[in-house]
Amino acid sequence: MGSPPARASRSRRRSRLERGISWRAVALFLFPAVALYLTFVVYPIIQSVRYSVYEWNGLAPLTNFVGLDNFRRAFSDELFLDAMRHNGVIIVLSLVLQLPVALALALLLNAKLRGRSALRVLFFAPYVLSEVVTGVVWRQILRPNGLVDQTLTAVGAEGFSREWIADPDIVLYSLFFVISWKYFGLHMILLLAGLQQIPKELTEAGMIDGATAWQRFRHITLPLLGPTARVSAFLSIIGALQIFDMVWVTTKGGPIGASSTMATFLYEQFRKSLFGYASAVSIVIFGLSLVVALAYQRAAMRRDLQGTGLVG
């Protein structure tokens, strides 16, 4: 048997060896994820920032340095400002209409209702469809003399027929309906999961105390559903800021830009080979999304984690 100092020395060496192996194992497992993140996220962002300060067509060398001119051009471009306003309209409508409807359905499907499992699948099914398929299908449904117009005619309401995706005054709202049809199922499932995490004992205690259904919803359900609702609102805002594929497939931002978004405007600039200007627009979209994400992290997440010991 070795002396106590020798055993202690061997124990320290073994501990250092184990820590070294542990850190090497952690680094080995992290390397692929970090490499992919740097390659496909960080590097493109850096390159976009670089391209945004040049007037560049994507082929010639980067020689025509213009500084912040591309950003000044973006914020003075009426087409881009209109696209930003359209994103804003979609955000407001999503928060005011889409999320309340999703919450109402979640409350309905959280109650004891015959066939609620089938209804959950039915309401969630549109979210499973790809954006391209959704856009193509609804473009056919909303076209002149399409399914919507034929249905209105069949019930004697042909006077309500409109050029749903060809009228600049209503195309954005028609598009919002399609977006809501596609995504409200996701928000419904999120809110339903949040409702099912609320202890039933609290609601039962409210009933015993004589609280009405509205009072139980306002003072028990809604506060406890707050974290889930805030996540749903965050996803809705970020999605509305970056929405592209469904808009492009359904309307291509038309007619005359009446349903364009920042992402469709960005794509149009790439198609015109205005790579420097398009890069500046992409940085603006990234910046807006980053501001929303940081604001959510600072306000909502901090509030949700308060008192858990995870935040000071």
- Dist. CA 235–CA 49, nearest whole Å: 25
pLDDT band at 312 (very low <50, low <70, confident <90, very high): very low
203 and 213 Cβ atoms separated by less than 8 Å: no
- Dist. CA 100–CA 121, nearest whole Å: 19
**CA torsion, points 217, 219, 224, 227, in degrees to nearest 10?**
90
- Dist. CA 284–CA 294, nearest whole Å: 15
pLDDT digits (tens, 9 = 90+) for 37-71: 999 989 998 999 999 999 988 888 888 899 899 99
E strands, 123-279, are none
Report in angstroms the alpha-carbon separations of 283 from 45, 49, 189, 236. Answer: 8, 7, 32, 20
pLDDT digits (tens, 9 = 90+) for 219-266: 888 888 888 898 899 999 999 998 998 999 999 988 888 999 999 999
The set of residues, in sequence order, having a beta carbon less than 8 Å from that of 174 and lying 6+ positions away, is: 142, 164, 165
Find the mean pLDDT for residues 176-204: 90
Q: The whole model's pTM is what? A: 0.84
Degrees, nearest 5: CA angle 280-263-254 = 125
- Dist. CA 307–CA 288, nearest whole Å: 30
- Dist. CA 56–CA 153, nearest whole Å: 52
